[in-house]
Chains A and B, each alone.
Chain A
Amino acid sequence: MSDFNRRTFIKSVGGTGVALTLAGCTGGGDGDGSTTTGTTASGDTTTTADVTTITPGTASGFPPFEFVNDSGDLVGFDVDLLSAVVERTDGYELGSWEDLEFNQLIVALDNGNIDVAAAAMTINDERDQTIDFSDPYYDANQAVLVREGGSFRPESKSDLADRPLGAQSGTTGKDQLDSLVEDGTISNSQANTYENYVLAVQDLVNRNIDAVIVDTPVAETFVANRNVVVSFTIETGEQYGFGVRENASDLQTALNEGLQAVQDDGTYADLTEEWFASE
């Protein structure tokens, strides 16, 4: 159900956060210890007196995780969480944020434009092949959004058969579309991808597509603001992690320790309360 989160969620994450360690980090532990990590022509990583400035990257337009507020500032759960995490690490400080397209984040990590990606990024095998992840810090599933006044109320994936659907490109919602195409539930031309979930929801409201598949926490935001409802949830059991470059295991370890610290001292619970408690 859509009201799974909040307190229950805080509890579950607080409790399982420890147990869930290392889900996203495979064999990235070697080849480290040199000072070359992340120093590229862009010069974003500078080392002064044992404090390394890391450049964080995100993809705004994904409220409440990351978006630009009324005053034009980049804000959100990820932004606050990463700041808190990095504050509790030894030897790292946060530089200024790069706001890119979600699709470009992994490329930007690989090329050293950014050092850490905090963008509600689901830890999955495909991404794990090119980058490494911190410990998971948030649980999500995929929600299927439909028009509020419409008669279309799918209850399972098979109900989506032969319907035009939408998702944002590069997301795990898009992966769901792909799997629906693969198993023949919908045709290729019925899988619509958008640069941004706002546009996908707009197209849903405009009746050009019949459903949008999007991460549950973001679906809640759309339900609050637009004439859409969650019809059912695909239990994917995915988890978000901070993305780091492959082999940047020093940073990875530091982020994991920082995550542990913010969960232990209650900052994590405060932030969840702040960003997800607006009904």
Chain B
Amino acid sequence: MDPTQLLLQAGVGDWEFVWRQRQFFVDGTWLAVKLTFFSMLLGFVVGLPAGVVEAYGGRYSKGVVRPLGVVVRGTPILVIISLTYFAFGVSPAFVAATLALGVRSAAYQSQIFRGAIESVESGQMEAARAVGLSKLDAIRHVVLPQALRRSVPGFQNEFTIVLKDTSIAYAIGVAELLKRSYDLFSIQTTAALEVFLAASLIYFVLTFTVNRGIEQLHDRVAIPGGNQ
């Protein structure tokens, strides 16, 4: 069906209903934001070291990190989240969702950081070692400060993905935005379209503002005279 026709069909009363029940969206949005924040944080804390290991690790550390990353990246998020909650019995559901989204994000973030690290010319590492820095210090003080700056665009992408994937937590009963939307149009079943539109608008606004914010951060921390 033609989308404009669908919009015209949408009764005014259903929009009033959405507005009257805005608390549902506020609650759902807040939960989605919390899920995103903690998942991204966990993803960063685990993903950054994993990225460093993938770039500089020895045979054994790489041998552990790389296959793990491949397995996690190769598993659908719905499977990961169901396994965490139902099979491993992580409870409450919010923790299970954060853990699942966080681990998945770590696997993706490790590749973002690995790519950024490998983009730093190898000559810099050699120079740092030549002036007497240990390998670890060279990574920490020379390579990472540049690599982290270059990873901002990839990180931005990852943030958008995680935010929207929080809706998967619906499967284990976490009352985030999508679950709240389902609750809502079960009360007023004619309002399904309006509720979905309102939820998409919220996802869009969240993604847009945070992306703008990261963009500004990117400009501010850009390597002076770099990337040219």
Contact = CB atoms under 8 A, between A and B. Distances in A.
B182 interface: yes
A222 B91 contact: no
A130 interface: no
23 contacts: A40-B89, A42-B90, A42-B91, A44-B91, A61-B182, A68-B187, A69-B187, A72-B23, A72-B24, A72-B27, A99-B175, A104-B82, A104-B171, A107-B82, A111-B86, A111-B89, A113-B85, A198-B185, A198-B189, A201-B189, A202-B189, A206-B1, A226-B189
Given A98-B93, A113-B91, A199-B192, A104 B172 contact: yes
A98 B173 contact: yes
A77 to B, nearest CB: 14
Which interface class (under 10, 10 to 19, 20 to 34, 35 or more) fits A?
20 to 34
Q: Please classify the interface of chain A as helix (H, G, I), strand (E, B), loop, or mixed, using the class held by over half of its residues.
A: loop
B89 A113 contact: yes
B182 A196 contact: yes
Contact of A67 (B85, B173, B186): B186
A70 B18 CA distance: 11
B130 interface: no
A38 to B, nearest CB: 11
A43 interface: yes
Nearest to A207: B1
Nearest to A104: B171
Nearest to A74: B183
A201 to B, nearest CB: 6
A61 B91 contact: no
A201 B171 CA distance: 21
Interface of A: 40-44, 60-63, 67-70, 72, 98-101, 104, 107-108, 111-113, 196, 198-199, 201-202, 206, 222, 225-226
B59 to A, nearest CB: 35
Given A63-B186, A98-B93, A198-B186, A41 B88 contact: yes
B172 A67 contact: no
Contacts of A202: 189, 192-193
Contacts of B186: 60-63, 67-68, 196, 198
B134 interface: no
Given A42-B89, A44-B91, A99 B1 contact: no
